[in-house]
Amino acid sequence: MAIRVTMKISLAPISYCWSKADVEQFYQQVANSNIDTVYLGETVCGRRRELKFSDYLDLANMLKAHGKHVVLSTMALIEAQSELNELKRAIDNGDFSIEANDMAAVFYAHQAKVPFVCGPTINNYNRASLDLLHQKGMYRFVMPCELSKDWLQAVINTDQKPSFEIEVLGHGYMPLAHSARCFTAKHYQLPKDKCQTICQRHSKGLLAQTQESQPLLRLNGIQTQSAAQVNLINQIPEMITMGVDYWRISPSKLADVNLGHELAALLANLTASDVNQAGELPTKLQPFTPASDQHHCNGYWLGQPGMQYTESAQLAP
Amino acid sequence: MELLCPAGNLTSLKAALNAGADAVYLGLKDDTNARSFAGLNFSVTQLTQATKLAHSQGRKVFLTLNTFPKPGQEHRWYQAVDIAAQLGMDALIVADLSLLSYAHQHYPHLPLHLSVQASATNLGALSFYKEAFNIERAVLPRVLSIKQVRDLAKVSPVDLEVFAFGSLCIMAEGRCHLSSYVTGQSPNTGGSCSPANHVRWQDSGADKLTRLNDVLIDKADASQQLGYPVVCKGRYVAEHEQDAKYLLESPTSLNTLSLLPDLAKAGVASLKIEGRQRSPAYVTQVTQVWRKAIDTYLAAPDSFAEQPQWSQALAKVSEGQITTLGAYERQWQ
C-alpha cells in the first residue's frame, strides 16, 4: 500500500488589527476550507479589542465543529499584570491547547498541565532546548523564522527521533521584531495610550521602503514584519522528505485561505513516491510559484539573509 | 546598588576597575557572546588575568554567554561554562535554555544571571527561569516603562538588573531578526547585530550614505551626522509619503541618570552600562560619572539632583550625541 503524505497545512493567527466583521468572514471561509489546523487569537497588542476573548472562543468552537484542529495563540510581548491575567484566561479555556509565544505562557501552561505549541518567538535554537520544553509540555514547535533548512536537519538528524512535531512558516510576512514602542501610532503622531487602534488602517501593516524605493519592512503596531513574504512553496517536497509536519501560512488577506485550501487538497492525495524529484508534486506546485513581479523571499531557509529570494531553477538539486 | 561595566579587553577592564565599577562583564574571543567582533574579547589566558585582577580588588567579574549554542557545536558553549566555573568567576550571563540547564546541573553554586537576550519581561517568564534553573538575577529588556519596572521588582522572585546607559536597543532583545533579515547574521545566530563586514560608508555627490549589505539605511548631507547603520535606526519612506523619516528610532542612546532615584527605590540590584565594543576611554568616562552619581545618591537620597556636568560628560560619548530615556518613559513608547 502506498504511504500517504502526512504534512498538513496550518494557518497562523491574523497578526493585524482587522474589524470583527472581517475576522468573522475570514474564519467562516476557513471553516469551509481543507485547512487542517487553525491558530487563533491576538498575538501582537493587548490594546486591540475588536474581538474579546469570548469572541475568539466562539470562533474556536465554530471551527472545531467544522473539523478543524484549533490552537489558541497568546501574546508575544507581555509587560503588564493585566496581560498575564489574559494569558492565564486563555490557558484555562478548558478545551483547546495553546500557542506559547512568551516564556510566561510556557510557565503557566506547564503549571496547568495544558499542552502547548511553541510559537516562532520562543527562542528554540538547539535540540537540547527543544527536548527541555517538550518535557514541560511542548508537543509542537514553530521554527524561529531566521533559522534554515540545514539547522533543522541538524536538529532532526540525531540518534533519537524528535518526540515533538515540527512546523515551518511557509508563506506570509515574517514577524521580525517586537518593541515597547508602537511604530504605527508614532507614524500618526499619536501617544500609545491614546492610539485609537490606528493600526486598523493598515490591514497588512504599513510599508516602509528605503530611500532607493526598496521595500524593507512592514510596521504592524509594536511588531515589525518583513516587507517581503516568505515563500517556501517550491520547498514543500523537501520539507515532506525531511519530516516537517505542518506548513504554516501567515495570512494577510482573504485569498490566503484559498492558497491553504488548494495546497491542503493537493497534499491530501499524494503518496510518498509523488514527492521525489521525478514525481508529481513538483509539477503540481508550479502554478503556486510566485510571479517574478511580486516581492517574495526564501533566504532564511537557504541559510542566507532573510530578505533574499532565489528561484528554484537556480538552486542545486 | 551595583555598578556593572563592560570590558572588551584587559585595558578596558582596568579602566572600569580604576573608575569604580563594582563588577565587570566580559566575553570570550568567539561567538559564544553577542559582541563577536575582531580584536575584541578575551582568550582563556586573558580571562584568567581579568578574574584575578578583579578579585584582588574585591570586585566581581561575570562571563557573558548570551548567544544560542548551534546544533552540533554545543560543546563550545559548554566548555565556556566549565572555564568560568574553574576560574571561580562570579556569575554567568546566559540566555539559552539548554545552557542554563547545563550550568545549573553541573555547577549549582555558580550564580546564573538571565541574559537580556532571553527576553524575560514579566513575572511568569521570570518564575519559569527561577523554577527551572534557580537563576539569581535577570537582566530586563529595554521595553518596560519605569512604572512596569517598579511593579515587577515588587513581585519578582529574582534580583533585577537594568540597562542604565549605552546604545539603545528598541526591540525586545533576543527576539529581533532585523539584522539577520538584511545580513544573514543576528546576535542570536552569528554573534552580533549589523556585523561590520556588511557595513559600507559611501559618498554620493554632496551626500553621505550608510549601507548594510547594500540596503540603504540612511542618507545625509555634510551638515548631519550619520549613525552606525542598524536597521531600526534608518530613515525610510512610509507608504503614500514622500519624505524619509526615522520610522522606528533615530540614532540616539540611552541615559537614565535622571531615573537613578526611581531605580534605587524600586530595589533594582544592578545598573548595567552597555558597550563591550567601545574604547577604554568610553569605559572610563561613563564609569566615573555613574560612580559619582550613585555615591552622591546613596550619601543623601532625598537631595539627589542630576548634575549638568554628568550629562555633558556622558553626551560626549553617546551615539549621535543625543540621549533618551527610551521605553522607561511611557511617552517614548
Q: How far is B10 from chain A (nearest CA, A)?
A: 31
Burial environment of residue B329 by CB neighbours within 10 A (0 to 12, 13 to 18, 19 or more): middle
A181:B327 CB<8 A: yes
Q: How far is A103 from chain B (nearest CA, A)?
A: 5
Name the β-bridge partners of B271: B3, B162
The third-level CATH classification (topology) of the domain covering B2-168+252-332 is TIM Barrel (3.20.20)
pTM beyond 0.90: the answer is: yes
Determine what percent of chain A is predicted with pLDDT higher than 70: 96
pLDDT the model gives residue A1:
56
pLDDT the model gives residue A314:
66
Quote the mean pLDDT of chain B.
Answer: 94
Here the cell at position B180 is: 539577520
pLDDT the model gives residue A317:
46
C-alpha B303/C-alpha B209 separation (Å) is 47
pLDDT the model gives residue A121:
96
The arithmetic mean of pLDDT across residues A10-14, rounded, is 98
Tell me which of A256 and A288 has the higher pLDDT.
Answer: A256
In chain A, domain spans: 8-172+229-302
List pLDDT tens digits, range A210-256: 999 999 999 999 999 999 999 999 999 999 999 999 999 999 999 99
Residue at B265: amino acid letter: K
Here the cell at position A42 is: 491576538
Here the cell at position B74 is: 554545543
A180:B327 CB<8 A: yes
Is residue A285 classed as helix, strand or coil in its secondary structure?
helix
Determine what percent of chain B is predicted with pLDDT higher than 70: 99
C-alpha A248/C-alpha A237 separation (Å) is 15
Closest C-alpha to A67, from A114, A32, A23, A29:
A32
Q: Where are the beta strands (DSSP E) in chain A?
A: 8-11, 37-40, 69-73, 97-100, 116-118, 138-142, 165-178, 206-209, 215-220, 223-231, 246-249, 296-297
Residue at B211: amino acid letter: R
pLDDT the model gives residue B146:
93
C-alpha A301/C-alpha A143 separation (Å) is 10
Nearest to A125 among B68, B235, B244 (CB): B68
So what's the architecture of A8-172+229-302 in CATH? Alpha-Beta Barrel (3.20)
C-alpha A123/C-alpha A144 separation (Å) is 7
C-alpha B148/C-alpha B163 separation (Å) is 14
Within chain B, which residue ranges are assigned CATH 3.20.20.70? 2-168+252-332
pLDDT the model gives residue B320:
60
Question: At B102, phi and psi to the nearest 5?
Answer: -60, -50
DSSP A167-185: EEEEEEEEEEEEBSS-HHH
pLDDT the model gives residue A292:
63
Closest C-alpha to A127, from A78, A100, A179, A163:
A163
* All residues at 6 or more sequence positions from A177 whose CB lies less than 8 Å from its CB, including other chains: A223, A224, B171, B172, B175, B176, B177, B178, B232
Nearest to A84 among B118, B122, B217 (CB): B122
Q: Are B90 and B113 in contact (CB under 8 A)?
A: no
The arithmetic mean of pLDDT across residues A4-15, rounded, is 94
- Partners of B188 on chain A (C-beta within 8 Å) are 123, 125, 144, 146
pLDDT the model gives residue A315:
64
Q: Residue A107 pLDDT more than 70?
A: yes
B247:A107 CB<8 A: no
**Residues in chain B where the model's pLDDT stays below 70:** 319-321
The arithmetic mean of pLDDT across residues A144-161, rounded, is 93
Nearest to B123 among A84, A213, A303 (CB): A84
Q: How far is B309 from chain A (nearest CA, A)?
A: 30
C-alpha A103/C-alpha A77 separation (Å) is 10
* All residues at 6 or more sequence positions from B293 whose CB lies less than 8 Å from its CB, including other chains: B257, B260, B306, B307, B310
Long-range pairs for B221-228 at CB < 8 Å and ≥24 separation?
Answer: B225/B251, B225/B320, B225/B321, B226/B201, B226/B251, B227/B251, B227/B319, B227/B320, B228/B194, B228/B199, B228/B319
If you count them, how many residues does chain B have? 333
B122:A105 CB<8 A: no
Q: Mutate which of A43, A77, A79, A209 to disrupt the B interface (most B C-beta within 10 Å)?
A: A79
B129 Cβ under 8 Å from any chain A Cβ: yes
List pLDDT tens digits, range A43-66: 999 999 999 999 999 999 999 999
Report whether B5 belongs to an annotated binding site: no
Residue at A134: amino acid letter: H
B124:A151 CB<8 A: no
The arithmetic mean of pLDDT across residues A249-267, rounded, is 95
Quote the mean pLDDT of chain A.
Answer: 93
